[in-house]
Structures are given as C-alpha cells and as structure tokens.
C-alpha cells in the first residue's frame, strides 16, 4: 500500500510551507488509494511549545484536510528509539560519546579557527574500550549515541524528482542519534518511525536533502528497505531569493485564515507552488487536484515564488464565484471564528446582503470588508481637502453642486433608474462635468475616491440618509 506522512514539530504555528508539503503528501496518497499518516515529532524539548500540537491539528482540519492514521506522538515512543539505538551500538555502527558540551564547543572553535570546510566531531570517544564505556555508564556519566559514518563511501539514491543524488561520506558528521536526555534526534526517530509505520514515500522539502545519506545508512544498518524519496522545492518571497519572511506578511497557516483568506482558495494557491498540471487550468478543487496530481509534475528547483499578489487574485476569484448569500454566510462564520466585529445591521439581513453584493467584485479577503463598507453603516467624517479637490478647490462651486443634488434628490421616488436620470439631467443642465459632480457626491456620501456605482450607493443608503449627509455639508 502507498503510504505517506507529515511529521511536523510542535514548536510554534504551522508554517504555510509545511501546509503545502502536507497537501502534496495527502494528495499523492489519495491519488493512489493509499493512506496518509500524521506524526508529531516533539522530541526537541527545548523548542517544544505547549498547545502547539492541538493548534496544528485544528488548522489542518480548517484547511479541509485530515489523516487516516495518527496522530502518533514521538515523545510517547522513547523506548522504541532507545532500543534501536542500542541495536546499532551492538552492530558496531554507532557508539557512546561522553564529551561535554564545553569540549564540543572548544572543538568547534578550534576547527573554525583552522578554517576547516565544516566542523565535525573528532571521534574522541570512539577510542574508548568496552570496559571504559561500561564504567562510565554505570557511574551515571551523561552520554549520547552517535552514528559511525563510513570514512570513504559514496552514498547514492534515486530521488523521484531530482534524479540520482550522491554524497561522499567523508563530508558527513557522526550524527547524534540518542541525546543525553533519552530523547532521539530527528534522524533516528524519523527512520524508525517511517519503517514501523510502513511509509512507502517520503515527500519532503529539499532542505532535508542533506540528511538523506544519514537516513540511508540507518536503513542499511538496521537491515530495512528504503522508502522512495521525493524532495520538493522550498518557498521564497516573490522577486527575492529569501525564504518566506514574517516581514513580508503572514507565514503561519492560521494567520492566512485569520486575515480572511478562504481555505479552499489557499489550497488552490498552494497546489501550484512547485507543481504544474501541464495545462492552463488555474482553479482546482481538492478532488480535481488529487485526480491530476503526480510527482512528475513537480519542478526541479530549489525555490518557488510565494506570490502574495497571486494569492490575493486567487482568493478574490473564489469570492466573486460565490453567491452573495453564501458569501454573507462565510463572512459571518469567519467573523465569529476570529472574534471580528462586522459592519452590519443586526435586524436587517436584506440590507447587509445588498451592501455585500455591491462590494463583492472588489473584495479580495474578508478583512477588507469593513473598510469597503463603513459608509453604509456610519456617517463618515468628510475630508474637506478631498471634498474640494474635484472643483479645483472652488468651495462655493462645490457647495452649489451639493445644493443642486439636494434639490433634485428631494423630489425623487428613489428608484435607481430615476436617480440616474435626474442626476445626469441636472449635471447637463447646470454645465458641470460628470467627474466633478459625481466625485463630489461620492466624497460627501462615502469619504472615498473609489466605491461601487454611485447610483447603487444612493439606492441602498436611502433617501433620508443621503439627504442628511448632503445637507450637513452645505450648512
């Protein structure tokens, strides 16, 4: 059976790049009628964040994804890892190391001072006799268990995306497998768990490529068959060579949902960060993606652009394709979930839906809604400089235009067609340009330069509100 996994560490909020990796693992397993496993790699206790596991699982579900097995928790499996580390020691492919942190720090400094290409452990403890090791362990001296890397071997494997990869073993450090606190390092735990959980394909970011030879050696020494490896590109900021940065915007999966992105739009966007269907199709449901997804469509590159503008476009497309009733429902669910107070009339859903319908074309994310609709719910404070801008700061001309609008709108029955006819007729008769007249009217009613059609605004605001706002500017 095809089996993939995602094994995040609960060290903070779940990164959007990790969500992309999870999506690819999930889709590959589902496309092969296999299983997807969730495993929590919480063995780095120094970086462990309380509650991160629960938040991680919740956000995965919020994106509409799930898992068939798990979550397996590594901190509950310590005896398994210790058992396998001791098997490696017995096979003489791993060894006890009693070096103190101070000695290792001094060793690193010395190697850096001598301009060594990379700092490596000097195998000081490999010289210890069995008797010395037994005595040190019996006396309670702290130790780690290290992997004994062969000194002159080429470690090769075939990556499903990158092709044939080769690493000279002389460049690899004797990796710690079991730490002095009894917890395994990533390298031991990932190999043991992937084998015991029968993971067939390891699909992960290319930053883990350098770890693969260590893992291959562990599989070899433990007498296990290798899974198939596929290393996918990392994400970078658009027009940059830097990885995703909080300085550019959110990098947490939950942060995008909080800002008002739709989960299905986010998934659609993530699908294309490294994968290409070979067609012009840009909008995919999760089901369509699973059907079309293949590892052969993943790019052979180190970095893929995380184009935040394209994400906005994608999200806006999803918003525009919704019925206004469904959009209003989703907007309110988002506001409830993240404790956002929306502009709305609590007892007039029809009015609220009309307002949303007017701004739907311009709405790209839910967090823009209040800014786009504020003038429907509260009389704006008008910027006088902006108000007089369209009559070239001729205050008396501006006030005459407002007075003329008051005059013709006071006698209107308030249908959209009549409003448009009367306003355009007045402008033509008085000799005003459409821009100066309608922009002045727009500023009075909204204090904005860009809004929906002015006649739609008039119709929805209603006669009483419109006349009240106009009269307040000529008194």
* Residue range 339-350, pLDDT digits in tens: 999 999 999 999
What is the DSSP track for 186-218? HHHHHHHHHHHTT--EEEEEGGGGGGHHHHHHH
* Residue range 107-145, pLDDT digits in tens: 999 999 998 888 899 999 999 999 999 999 999 999 999
Domain ranges of the chain: 1-72+233-321, 78-232, 324-376, 379-472
Q: Hey, is 149 helix, strand or coil?
A: coil
Question: In angstroms, rounded to a whole number, what is the distance separating the alpha carbons of residues 475 and 472?
Answer: 6
Question: In angstroms, rounded to a whole number, what is the distance separating the alpha carbons of residues 260 and 371?
Answer: 13
* pLDDT above 90 for 250: no
Question: In angstroms, rounded to a whole number, what is the distance separating the alpha carbons of residues 5 and 462?
Answer: 57
The two tokens of residue 371 are 């800014």
For residues 2 and 29, is the Cβ–Cβ distance under 8 A? Answer: yes
Task: Report which of 213, 231, 225, 203 is spatially closest to residue 173, judged by C-alpha positions.
Answer: 213
Q: What is the DSSP letter of 12?
A: S
With residue 166 as reference, give the H or E element that holds it: strand 163-168
Same fold, 78-232 and 379-472: no
* Residue range 37-74, pLDDT digits in tens: 999 999 988 888 899 999 999 999 999 999 999 999 99
Report how far apart, in Å, the C-alpha atoms of 369 and of each of 322, 364, 376, 379 are.
15, 9, 12, 17
With residue 373 as reference, give the H or E element that holds it: helix 369-377
Q: Hey, is 141 helix, strand or coil?
A: coil
Q: Which fold has domain 78-232?
A: Rossmann fold (3.40.50)
Question: In angstroms, rounded to a whole number, what is the distance separating the alpha carbons of residues 112 and 118?
Answer: 8
Write down the pLDDT at residue 475: 63
Question: In angstroms, rounded to a whole number, what is the distance separating the alpha carbons of residues 385 and 258?
Answer: 35
Q: Is 1.10.10.350 the CATH number for 379-472? A: yes
* Residue range 300-314, pLDDT digits in tens: 988 999 999 999 999
Write down the pLDDT at residue 12: 87
* Residue range 150-201, pLDDT digits in tens: 998 999 999 999 999 999 999 999 999 999 999 999 999 999 999 999 999 9
The reported pTM is 0.92
Question: Catalytic site residues?
Answer: 246
CATH entry, 1-72+233-321, from 3.40.50.620, 3.30.590.10, 3.30.420.270, 3.30.390.30:
3.40.50.620
* pLDDT above 90 for 238: no
Write down the pLDDT at residue 414: 94
Q: What percent of the chain has pLDDT over 70?
A: 100
């Amino acid at each position: 059976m095809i089996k993939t996994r995602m094994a995040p560490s609960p060290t903070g909020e779940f990164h959007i790049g990790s969500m992309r990796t999870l999506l690819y693992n999930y889709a590959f397993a589902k496309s092969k009628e296999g299983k997807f496993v969730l495993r929590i790699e919480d063995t780095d206790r120094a970086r462990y964040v309380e509650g991160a596991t629960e938040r991680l699982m919740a956000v995965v579900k919020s994106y509409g994804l799930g898992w068939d097995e798990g979550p397996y928790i590594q901190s509950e499996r310590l005896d398994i890892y210790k058992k396998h580390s001791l098997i490696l020691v017995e096979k003489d492919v791993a060894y006890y190391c009693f070096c103190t942190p101070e000695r290792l720090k001094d060793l690193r400094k010395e190697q850096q001072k001598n301009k060594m290409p990379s700092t490596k452990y000097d195998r000081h403890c490999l010289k210890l006799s069995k008797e010395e090791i037994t005595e040190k362990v019996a006396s309670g001296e702290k130790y780690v268990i290290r992997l004994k890397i062969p000194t002159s071997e080429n470690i090769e494997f075939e990556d499903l995306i990158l092709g044939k990869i080769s690493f000279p073993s002389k460049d690899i450090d004797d990796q710690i497998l079991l730490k002095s606190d009894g917890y395994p390092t990533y390298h031991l735990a990932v190999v043991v768990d992937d084998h015991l959980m029968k993971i067939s394909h390891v699909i992960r970011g290319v930053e883990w490529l350098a770890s693969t030879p260590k893992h291959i050696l562990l599989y070899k020494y433990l007498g296990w068959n290798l899974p198939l490896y596929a290393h996918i590109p990392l994400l970078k900021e658009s027009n940059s060579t830097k990885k995703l940065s909080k300085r550019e915007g959110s990098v947490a999966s939950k942060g995008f949902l909080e800002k008002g992105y739709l989960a299905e739009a986010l998934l659609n966007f993530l699908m294309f960060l490294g994968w290409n269907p070979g067609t012009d199709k840009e909008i995919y449901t999760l089901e369509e993606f699973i059907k079309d997804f293949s590892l052969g469509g993943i790019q052979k590159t180190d970095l893929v652009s995380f184009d935040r503008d394209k994400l906005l476009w994608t999200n806006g497309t999803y918003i525009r394709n919704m019925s206004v009733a469904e959009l209003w429902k989703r907007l309110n669910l988002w506001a409830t979930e993240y404790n956002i107070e929306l502009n709305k009339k609590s007892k007039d859903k029809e009015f609220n839906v009309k307002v949303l319908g007017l701004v739907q074309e311009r709405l790209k994310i839910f967090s823009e809604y209040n800014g786009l609709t504020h003038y429907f719910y509260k009389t704006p404070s008008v910027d006088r400089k902006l108000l007089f801008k369209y009559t070239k700061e001729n205050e008396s001309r501006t006030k005459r235009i407002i007075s003329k609008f008051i005059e013709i709108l006071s006698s209107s029955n308030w249908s959209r067609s009549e409003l448009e006819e009367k306003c355009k007729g007045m402008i033509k008769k008085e000799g005003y340009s459409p821009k100066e007249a309608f922009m002045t009217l727009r500023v009075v009613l909204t204090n904005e330069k860009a809004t929906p059609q002015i006649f739609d605004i008039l119709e929805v605001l209603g006669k009483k509100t419109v006349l009240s706002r106009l009269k307040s500017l000529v008194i």
